[in-house]
Amino acid sequence: MSRLEDAIEAARFVVTAELLTVDAGGLDAVHERFAPFADYVDATNATDNTSAHAHASPLAVAIALQQLGMEPVMQLTCRDRNRLGLEAEIAGAALHGIENICCLTGDDVTAGDEPEARRVFDLDSVQLLVAAGQMAAGHYLSGRKIDPPPKLFLGAVENAGAPPYDYRVDRALKKVRAGARFLQLQVGFRPEQTEAFMREAVDKGLAAQCALIPSICLVRSPGALRFIDEHVPGIEVPAEIIARCERAADPEAECFEVACELAERARSLPGVAGLHLISFRKEAGIARLCQRLGIPTRETRANSRPVAV
Amino acid sequence: MIAAVEAAVKKPVFGCHMCGQCVLHSTGLTCPMECPKTLRNGPCGGVRPDGHCEVKPEMRCVWVKAVERSRRLPWAHEIHDIRPPVDNRLEGTSSWVNLYTGRDKQTPKGWHVSA
């Protein structure tokens, strides 16, 4: 059982983080990206060509993380591979003992720096979850056997901050029926949207069926917030937040305050199982946020009684 | 011949892409193949705040429309069905014929969805 699955099963508060993209530099480059927060997280996401920019593949990075002693969550998007390619990645991950797989649709190729590329989307994220679940049950989509069946812990992403807002929990429920056991919610800068989603998630039984993990994004400048607002599909940053950070005497500190406030609000919501933390710089922002919120290290969490943090 | 008639009827009305395995009935009479990502199980996370498409900002998200319209139909619950992957061999064939023969209900041998 993966460390992440174990923590979720035991109803311990989980912390996951996103690894900055890797293009070169060997294992050292991977290590320096997670070392600052290694003590706090249960697992770290190896991303799959984020924002449709090519990087070292999620399988390669996930293997590197594993070799370096960090448990990976391998992200897989439907944008760049057809069903054969996706199944091959999952089988390959399982071969290396990687269990956590996060299935996403993926940003469109037009969001990236090679917009002339062919988009694939042979499967969608729900179908990918089903396919992965069938592999864990011992066969490919074709029905061909996999013996022994790979051990997998499947998850997905849902965006509480994109229309149609009143359908997002239903969509998440569909992902759970398709096999998702955890959902990392897309970064949101409008806490009222996360709150509305979580209320409905509790009412409809979603929170009881899978671990809901809101994402918090740490940036160091108002410019970065503006960039996210303008260039990252599906994430809106309210003008008030950008203005507040710009006006502040120390904009960098203010950006950190914003992240802390969002994280504090998110983790206090009923049904929230943990936090997913994303920092766009190689620095200790993630560890600092955990310390600030009083989230103990992974080891301390694992050794304590399961109480809401 | 039937495919030509189907295309002539459905292209102007639904923007039909002739995938040959029509799911309009369960998607609020909105063709999911109009989605640039051809998603058949709901919207992606990139929908713009105004309900428009991540890829084509001038177009309303297919799934925003599908969800909205499905709620006005007596079989509204069908939007929640998990739809199987497209069989790419059926592209260009008539979904009417495939419906009649049951060909459009064939899924990969290893495709199982509980409940």
Does a structural domain hold residue B113?
A: no
The residue segments making up the domain with residue B79 are: 2-105
DSSP state at residue A219: -
* Residues β-bridged to residue A15: A275
Residues of A in contact with B109 (CB under 8 A): 141-143
| Cα separation, A224 vs A17, whole angstroms | 19
Of the candidates A177, A178, A234, the beta carbon closest to that of B46 is on A234
The per-residue pLDDT for range A186-199, each reduced to its tens digit, is: 999 999 999 999 99
In chain B, the number of structural domains is 1
Backbone angles phi, psi at B51, to 5 degrees: 85, 10
**Partner-chain contact A167 B42, CB within 8 Å:** yes
Contact between A186 and A215 under an 8 Å Cβ cutoff? The reply is yes
Residue B115 domain-assigned? no
Query: Would residue B114 count as lying in a domain?
Result: no
Instruction: Identify the pLDDT of residue A64.
Output: 98
pLDDT the model gives residue A306: 57
Q: How far is A139 from chain B (nearest CA, A)?
A: 7
**Burial of residue A308, with CB atoms counted within 10 A of its CB: 0-12 exposed, 13-18 middle, 19 or more buried:** exposed
pTM above 0.90, yes or no: yes
Crossing angle for the helix pair A125-136 and A83-95, to the nearest 10 degrees: 40
Q: Determine the Cα–Cα distance for residues A281 and A33; give it in Å rounded to an integer.
A: 9
The answer to whether A127 contacts B41, with C-beta atoms less than 8 Å apart, is yes
Determine, for residues A163 and B113 on separate chains, whether the beta-carbon distance falls below 8 Å: no
A145 reaches B (C-beta below 8 A): no
pLDDT digits 0-9 by tens, B35-80: 999 999 999 999 999 999 999 999 999 999 999 999 999 999 999 9
Which of B30, B35, B39, B44 is the best mutation test for A, with the most CBs of A within 10 A? B44
Highest mean pLDDT: which range of A52-56, A302-306, B19-23 = A52-56
The answer to whether ipTM exceeds 0.90 is: yes
**Average pLDDT value for residue range A42-70:** 98
Q: Give the gap in angstroms from C-alpha B89 to the nearest C-alpha of chain A.
A: 12
> Tell me: the pLDDT tens digits for A110-123?
999 999 999 999 99
Please, what are the domains in chain A?
3-303 (3.20.20.220)
| Within a domain: B6 | yes
Instruction: Give domain status of residue B110, yes or no.
Output: no
Mean pLDDT of chain A: 96
Q: What is the pLDDT of residues A76-98, one digit of tens each?
A: 999 999 999 999 999 999 999 99
Query: Which residues of chain A does B113 touch, with a Cβ-Cβ cutoff of 8 Å?
Result: 130, 177-178
pLDDT digits (tens, 9 = 90+) for A254-302: 999 999 999 999 999 999 999 999 998 877 799 999 999 999 999 999 9
Q: Determine the pLDDT at residue B13.
A: 79
Residues 6+ apart with CB under 8 A from B4: none
Average pLDDT over chain B, rounded to an integer: 92
In a domain, B96, yes or no: yes
Q: Does A128 touch chain B (CB under 8 A)?
A: no
Residue A145 β-bridge partners: A139
